[in-house]
Amino acid sequence: MDLIVIAIVVVVAIGLVAACILSYASKVFYVPVDERVSKLRAELPGANCGGCGFAGCDDYANALVEDPELSINKCPVGGAAVAAKLGEILGKSAEAGEKQLAVVMCNGTRDAVKPLLAYNDIKTCKAAKNLFGGMNACPFGCLGLGDCEAACDFDAIHICDGVAVVNKDACVACGACAKACPNSLIRISPAKNLVVVKCHNTEKGGVARKECSNACIGCMKCQKVCKFDAITVENNLAYIDPEKCKNCGMCAKECPTGAIHDERKKKAAPKKSPEEIEALKKAAAAKKAAAAAKKEDAPADSTDVKADDTKADSAKEKTPVKEVKVETTVEKAEEKAPETVKEVVDESADIGDENV
């Protein structure tokens, strides 16, 4: 019994000594932490996507406290709402941040791009890239095996018809898809730019067109038609300056291969109310009935009479022409062979005398 008590006392004593040592160490080695960091971290979404340019939300929160000049609009996931909350904590006014989107610079669908080989290996873009540059003839195009789709935490990008397509409503411009693409086809650009070049091929026009029917051929027609000097052709590829582009869409209309896409939403025709639709139907029915009644009131024989008159007139017109032709033929015959005519007349006269 005494041994048990002694053991308990020893354990308690060791615990008390360790607690005193840890308490003293925490005070000696204490590093002051700004309470604003924890508040900022609580407001950040915690996606740790790296879209802000930092390693994660914790790193961004620390950087905001350490650097007063750092912008509070760098979180693409939280957007303006999170920026406003961060501004309240730091005593800053949230600037109007421009929405960004991921843009895939390729439109090499399965029908457009020429296949190079059948790929049956590891289903990743990086693996396919290491094998002769990919399974398509275009070495710059989308490989379509979904590395970008797997990297996106917001379900904002998917492979459709062999090409990555971005869902603009779900995209937060974190840049994870751009980092995952081995061909560097995806870029983050302002959402206001709705006219984009969906090609990344820098080869000469003839070669690029053989590899993909939707490729940019560097013809410079887009550059010539642009009135704002917003598009240039460099290294056989068109490039649109997002700062100068006015989204007029003229370059997209002029592009002969469809490499430039105009993604502006067309204005839908105003919808008519049920009353207007019913009124239009009644007007059309009344117009149809009036036309039918007018047709019934017209004389039935009028068409036949007109047809007979037309035939008679045509007959009258044709008869004189025939008579003229006959007279002309006789006259010509008399002119060409007057002696023959006279001989025929003399012979008929002789035959008459003999009969007498």
> For position 161, what pLDDT does the model report?
93
Beta bridge mates, 115: 136
- What is the per-residue burial (b if ≥16 Cβ within 10 Å, else e) of 306-345? eeeeeeeeeeeeeeeeeeeeeeeeeeeeeeeeeeeeeeee
Model confidence at 337: pLDDT above 80: no
> For position 350, what pLDDT does the model report?
44
Average pLDDT value for residue range 111-137: 90
Average pLDDT value for residue range 168-176: 89
Average pLDDT value for residue range 1-23: 88
> For position 304, what pLDDT does the model report?
46
pLDDT in tens, 61-92: 999 988 888 888 888 888 888 888 888 888 88
> For position 77, what pLDDT does the model report?
84
As a whole-number percent, the residues of the chain with pLDDT over 70 amount to: 80
Q: Which of 167-181, 228-242, 319-333 is predicted least confidently?
A: 319-333
pLDDT in tens, 294-309: 777 665 544 444 444 5
Higher pLDDT, 319 or 278: 278
Model confidence at 320: pLDDT above 50: no
Average pLDDT along the chain: 81
> For position 307, what pLDDT does the model report?
44
User: Which amino acid, one-letter code, is at 207?
Assistant: V
Structure confidence at residue 270 as a pLDDT band (50, 70, 90): low
- Note whether 141 and 123 are within 8 A (CB): no
Average pLDDT value for residue range 233-262: 93
Q: Which of 183-187, 198-202, 205-209, 313-317 is predicted least confidently?
A: 313-317
Higher pLDDT, 216 or 333: 216
> For position 306, what pLDDT does the model report?
45
Higher pLDDT, 199 or 346: 199
Model confidence at 225: pLDDT above 60: yes
> For position 208, what pLDDT does the model report?
94
